[in-house]
Structure 1
Amino acid sequence: MKVFGWRRRLTPFDRKLTAILAICVFISFLLPLRQGIGARVLVERDGKVIYTADLDHDQQVELQGPLGVTVLQIEDHAARVISSPCPQKICIGLGKAKHSGDLLACVPNRLVIRIEGDEEKERGYDLLSR
C-alpha cells in the first residue's frame, strides 16, 4: 500500500497535537450552550445602572438617552430594543437577549442593556472574567 508523502512525515507528537487541537475546537463549540437563562435585565448609561427589571414580567420601558427615547420590550423572558432614535438601528437588528451575559448596545444613544442571571450576582463575575 502506498503511503502519501505528508503522512510519512507526521510524527507521533504531530498526531497528538492534532488530536488535542481537534478536542479544543470541539469543546469551544459546546461552551456557549452552557449559558443559563437570564433572570433580570440591567440598563446602563455612561457606566451607571439606570434601570433594572426582572425578565418574568412583560413590559415596555422608555429609556432616555442623549439622542432621544429608546424603547425596550421585555416579553417571553427576553429583552429587545424595538425603537431607537439612532441612525443605523443596529441595536434593533441585534434581536432578543435572553441568556445570562447577553448584551444589547445602542452606542449613539449611550445605552448598554445586559442580561444577568442569579448565579452571576452571587459569584460577582463580570463580562471579562467569565
Structure 2
Amino acid sequence: MKVKKWDVIIISLFVIASFIPALIFTLQARANSGGYYVEIKVQGELYETRQLTGHTGREEIRIETDLGVNIVEIIEEKVGMYEADCPDKVCYSPEYISRAGETIVCLPNRIVIEVKGEKPDADDEDIITGWASDHHE
C-alpha cells in the first residue's frame, strides 16, 4: 500500500484539529481567571487573604497566637513561611509556593497557607462560617 501526498495532508490536518479543543479550554481558563491569591488560616479560621497575581515587592504578615509566632512572607508572586517558632520547622518545606492547590502547614501553631485560584469578591460570604472573605481575626 502506497501513502499518497493527500493522505499525509489530511491526516496532518486531523492531528492539528484534535488540539483545538485543548487550546480553546486553556484560553478560556486564562481569560476567566482573576489570578491567584493566598488564604492564611489560623486555628481553622480565615486570618488573611492577599492577591498573589501581580504582587510586587516583599510583604510580611506576622501571626501571633497563644501557640506561637509565625511570619508569612510574600515575595513577588510567591508566598512562604519566613519564620516560625515551632520545634519541627516542617513548614519551611516547600520554601515558597505560587500555584493553586499548593499549601504550607505549620501543625504545632495550627496555621495553613493555601494558594487558590480566582480571587473572591470582598462581600462574598463563606457558606460554612458565615464570615465575609475580608474578615480578620
Tell me if TM exceeds 0.5. yes
Q: Which residue of 1 aligns with 2:66?
A: 66
Picking from 42, 46, 49, the partner of 1:49 is 46
Q: Which residue of 2 aligns with 1:10?
A: none
In 2: Cα distance, 1:92 partner to 1:67 partner: 17
In 2: Cα distance, 1:61 partner to 1:46 partner: 16
Identity %: 25
Q: Which structure shows the higher helix fraction? A: 1
Q: Aligned letter for 2:45?
A: K
Per-residue Cα deviation, 1:51-76 (whole angstroms, up to 9, x for no partner): 11112143111012333210111012
Q: Which residue of 1 aligns with 2:99?
A: 99
State whether structure 2 residue 110 is matched by structure 1 residue 113.
no
Per-residue Cα deviation, 1:105-126 (whole angstroms, up to 9, x for no partner): 000000000101118x59xxxx
SS of equivalent residue, structure 1 residue 100: coil
Q: Which residue of 2 aligns with 1:30?
A: none
Q: Which residue of 1 aligns with 2:37?
A: 40
Q: Aligned letter for 1:65?
A: T
In 2: Cα distance, 1:66 partner to 1:105 partner: 17
Q: CA RMSD in A?
A: 2.6
CA drift at 1:95? 1.1
SS of equivalent residue, structure 1 residue 91: helix
Unaligned segments of structure 2, at least 5 residues: 1-32, 122-137
Per-residue Cα deviation, 1:62-114 (whole angstroms, up to 9, x for no partner): 01233321011101201000110100111013211100011000000000001
C-alpha contact 1:66 1:110 (8 A) present in aligned 2: no
In 2: Cα distance, 1:54 partner to 1:82 partner: 18
How many pairs are equivalent?
88
